[in-house]
Structure 1
Amino acid sequence: MLVYDGDCGFCTTSARAAQRLLHPSCEFTAWQFADLESLGVSQERAEYEALWVTPAGEVYGGAQAVAKLLLRAGGAWGVLGAVLTLAPVRWIARAAYRIIAVNRGRLPGGTPACATPPRRPA
């Protein structure tokens, strides 16, 4: 399952585009409609990044969630997803994801409501 921010226009548009282009055999759910507790995910984390939740309950966030989605789609997309899991590409993907996430309100479809809340220190 891919969990995304359904209040963010950029995130919603991206999720719909992924469904249309990738045709992955998985569920897409806005975190606002997901049972986060049963998924083992906090609202704070769901607000912060897209999440990939496996049937076994493993949770991957951000760029690794995107990589898992691409792997699930298979074919050339799966190859790209596999590449995104390898160091140092994984580190670059993580940085790129954070830049996009922090600026998603400025991207096409984004609004001020898309702004990523600041992450509290653990």
Structure 2
Amino acid sequence: MNDRPAPQSDPGRPLLIFDGDCGFCTSSARFGQRMLGLEHVEPWQFLDLDQLPVTEAQCDEAVQWVEADGTVASAQYAVIGCLRHAGGVWGVLGRIMALPGVHQFAGVIYRWTARNRGRLPGGTPACSLPAADRPARDQD
């Protein structure tokens, strides 16, 4: 797939897993890394998913948040997990987003964003394609 060494999962520390083939996803993940202070943020394409409690299909479908204890949250729940982990004002926002009714609305927003990520800032036409239809990565 590529010659970049796969980062090792670090038990005891949460991990945000995103689609590294999507420019919008990459920009969003890096924003989370900077603004939320997330230490472990990696594209699923560079991880050894056999060592993690997620599959390629899950990672292609939505962003994944793997808690320190191995608990997995996906889509809007992954975003909520990141916010809560960050604490402070972000943590309050995460707790609000987890409230009944609010998390369903967050899911609607997440799904709309995922469907339209190729049209959003940082997005590319490849962002809109399922993983199986994306151009293969060059092997160096």
| Paired residues for 1:25-104 under 5 Å | 26-104=39-117
Partner of 2:135: none
Residue 12 of structure 1: which of 10, 26, 33 is its match? 26
* TM-score, normalised with respect to structure 2: 0.79
Q: Which is richer in helix?
A: 1
1:39, 1:55 → 2: CA distance?
A: 11
Question: Which consecutive segments of 4 or more residues in structure 1 shift more than 3 A?
Answer: none
2:42, 2:30 → 1: CA distance?
A: 11
5+ residue gaps, structure 1: none
**Residues 38-78 of structure 1: CA deviation (Å, up to 9, x unaligned):** 21211111011000001221110011100100011100000
CA contact under 8 A between 1:5 and 1:32: conserved in structure 2?
yes
CA contact under 8 A between 1:101 and 1:116: conserved in structure 2?
no
Task: Give identity over the alignment, percent.
Answer: 48
CA contact under 8 A between 1:5 and 1:31: conserved in structure 2?
yes
5+ residue gaps, structure 2: 1-14, 132-140
> Cα offset for 1:116?
5.3
- The alignment of Structure 1 onto Structure 2 pairs a total of residues equal to 117
Partner AA of 1:110 in structure 2: G
> Cα offset for 1:117?
2.7
Query: Per the alignment, do residues 71 and 109 of structure 1 end up closer, same or farther by CA in structure 2, a change over 3 Å counting?
Result: same
CA contact under 8 A between 1:10 and 1:109: conserved in structure 2?
yes
* TM-score, normalised with respect to structure 1: 0.90
Partner AA of 1:31 in structure 2: W
Structure having the higher Rg: 2
Q: Does the residue aligned with 2:24 lie in a helix, a strand or coil?
A: helix
1:93, 1:116 → 2: CA distance?
A: 23
Partner AA of 1:23 in structure 2: G
